[in-house]
Structure 1
């Protein structure tokens, strides 16, 4: 798809964006503001966090290196709206709600609770209920051109391992509205007791709730022009806004790289020849914008797009680890703790032995002597 056609529906529009403080959402915000011609205004829904106001959170992001190449007039398009996505009315004031309803042409939902150890109740509130609340608002927007929901390539991880996943909707184990009703009737103790049974073959609450959210959108979207994208493991940028950009070491698989670069991580348990599917964040953003245009062009149908590299540029865990180690040796980072060296090991006991000898015991020693040497562990 050519560049002009991707940007066409956004020209002169008004965007509503969730998740702007996250890795994908922040990258998407930067790309939208860069478009010329682009939208007239971008409303970002942000919640208050740890005593920091929503506006202060966005101001900090807009002052980061990610947005340095943008002109001041582009940054002035950003309008911050306080919210609580888990609340039935999204925590919006009456005035803010009316502004969004009367002006918005595009809705991009990238906010999510990406925690593989999250309590089921928390994952449901943020990944499922917030999606339903946002959809309810979106359905009332008379000027709406497109809505894009960011899901995950692992939402349907319960399928057979030899099955090729298609760009279509796969049914969840329960009907979403019935599941939500069931969760509202259950106490926290009952949810804890039945979590494993509810998840079924899902590996965690994240993939479970993301699949449930896809099905909820498909069933309740009404006339909303909708696209769903499924990115795999999101990495630093390929070229935009600059080569290798990432907002923090916890984004995607970047923590894996940072641990090896510092010499902290020495071993990982995995099947070495298993394919590792990673995708640069700027490719994900491009897919989101293309998906919005597709929904605008064909509003009747639900559109689902995979954003992965598996069949195009396959890489195994072993190959990826070797490449990371090589790059970390050629371009060593500051405050290096140990010479970068790491391997993928399939054997559980061998991995456990190396883990204790080369990671846990050294970490214990450093933690013990750091007060004596006045060693700043935060530099690691």
Structure 2
């Protein structure tokens, strides 16, 4: 990809001047960071329209107030609180006809929006096919249909996943053949599909999430006939690396939950090997890449795919990830069970099952039995059940390694001006893993566990 001198000089911030953005999935972990970053770093942005589900009993203002009641938005509230008034909630539903958007709001979007960021999806790994399809596939169809009506639309940015092509060991920044015929699946009564039939339909992909996200990429690719279109594939999205708050995060998804469970002594086994590469990417790097890709591809004639990943150029092993969390738990005494650093890796499921029973289930029952004796409510068996379900959902990913190329991402970042590089860092080779993981652990304690 050749980068012209004009592209090098163009400002990312200038691209968003005078424009309005429409975002789906804005209330999610990634969506919140998108909104904060765009509002703060692109002060010339006119409006941030956010698709959001109806909620009875709360006014629009109350919902916005609740949304921004998060340390993530502190710098905006302190420096430019008026900019938060640019957030406009659009009540709707991804699974409803016409997205459940009122005619007035639909007309508003059609007349005003220039940039679309489609981030909404069900991220449940093993959701029934019917549910995953309704949101990830049909929901995207509805978003695309709306966006094609938008008079000012300049770019459509779709957030996919790097794990949409796990049937390949090396994943390039390109569109791969779909795992199934989407037209045939459209005709199928997905409500009647059994779990066994679903596994066959997945065609080697590990779950309905990756399967539907892979198919959705092909729906999005067809959008190039209507407007410039970009697919961004993040890997395991984790805590903020730098901006606006180091270590900020708001959920236990991805690598967070299982790493914390292991550090606390609640998980004693991983299906896999310590040298398996776990592809982690900070959430602010994903956000920055999407913002840059939007500005740089508004005149693109063909589909652009970016892998927002670290495994090919700055790999982190599963063993080192767990070691960092365990050291943090020991240092700050946040573990719950004795010997928090003790756990094993195995390639055999039956060994994982035995270790789980002996070293997780049995101790949990013993501790709950003691709690009953002293008049307290049992809690450990319930926690261990959650731990086991979490680990089982991740077994496929902890026992496989992929090389996910991010050459186009790095080249795009290299094309930026010095100021834009400072504002929108996204080159994964710049991540210092030991420092980042310290901040990650501190973020878990501060934002999830609410410790001082």
Q: Same fold (TM over 0.5)?
A: yes
Q: Does 1:287 align with 2:305?
A: no
Structure 2 unmatched runs, 5+: 1-6, 384-448
Q: Does 1:28 align with 2:31?
A: no
Residue 429 of structure 2 corresponds to none
Partner deviation per Cα, 1:233-270 (whole Å, 9 max, x = no partner): 1111111121111112x232111232134332232221
Residue 245 of structure 2 corresponds to 242
Residue 346 of structure 1 corresponds to 346
In 2, the alpha carbon distance for the partners of 1:52 and 1:126 equals: 25
* TM-score, L = length of structure 1: 0.89
In 1, the alpha carbon distance for the partners of 2:175 and 2:282 equals: 24
In 2, the alpha carbon distance for the partners of 1:364 and 1:187 equals: 39
Q: Does 1:182 align with 2:187?
A: yes
Distance 1:3 1:263, change over 3 A: farther
1:28 Cα deviation (Å)?
Answer: 0.8
- Does the Cα contact within 8 Å between 2:263 and 2:322 map onto a contact in 1? no
In 2, the alpha carbon distance for the partners of 1:110 and 1:167 equals: 19
In 2, the alpha carbon distance for the partners of 1:344 and 1:50 equals: 48
Where do 1:5-154 residues align within 5 Å?
A: 5-48=11-54, 56-70=62-76, 71-154=80-163
In 1, the alpha carbon distance for the partners of 2:209 and 2:340 equals: 32
Secondary structure at the counterpart of residue 75 of structure 2: coil
Residue 319 of structure 2 corresponds to 318
In 1, the alpha carbon distance for the partners of 2:317 and 2:65 equals: 39
In 2, the alpha carbon distance for the partners of 1:224 and 1:272 equals: 44
1:108 Cα deviation (Å)?
Answer: 0.5
- Does the Cα contact within 8 Å between 1:233 and 1:253 map onto a contact in 2? yes
Distance 1:130 1:343, change over 3 A: same
C-alpha RMSD of the superposition? 2.5
1:274 Cα deviation (Å)?
Answer: 1.5
In 1, the alpha carbon distance for the partners of 2:174 and 2:326 equals: 37
Query: Which stretch of the first structure deviates more once superposed, 218-227 or 49-58?
Result: 49-58
Partner deviation per Cα, 1:89-124 (whole Å, 9 max, x = no partner): 000000010001100011111111111111001001
Secondary structure at the counterpart of residue 33 of structure 2: helix
- Does the Cα contact within 8 Å between 1:48 and 1:54 map onto a contact in 2? no
Where do 1:223-302 residues align within 5 Å?
A: 223-248=226-251, 250-296=252-298, 298-302=299-303
Structure 1 unmatched runs, 5+: none
- Does the Cα contact within 8 Å between 1:325 and 1:342 map onto a contact in 2? no
Distance 1:268 1:215, change over 3 A: same
In 1, the alpha carbon distance for the partners of 2:282 and 2:226 equals: 32
Secondary structure at the counterpart of residue 51 of structure 2: strand
Distance 1:2 1:267, change over 3 A: farther
In 1, the alpha carbon distance for the partners of 2:222 and 2:270 equals: 40
1:271 Cα deviation (Å)?
Answer: 2.3
Secondary structure at the counterpart of residue 279 of structure 1: strand
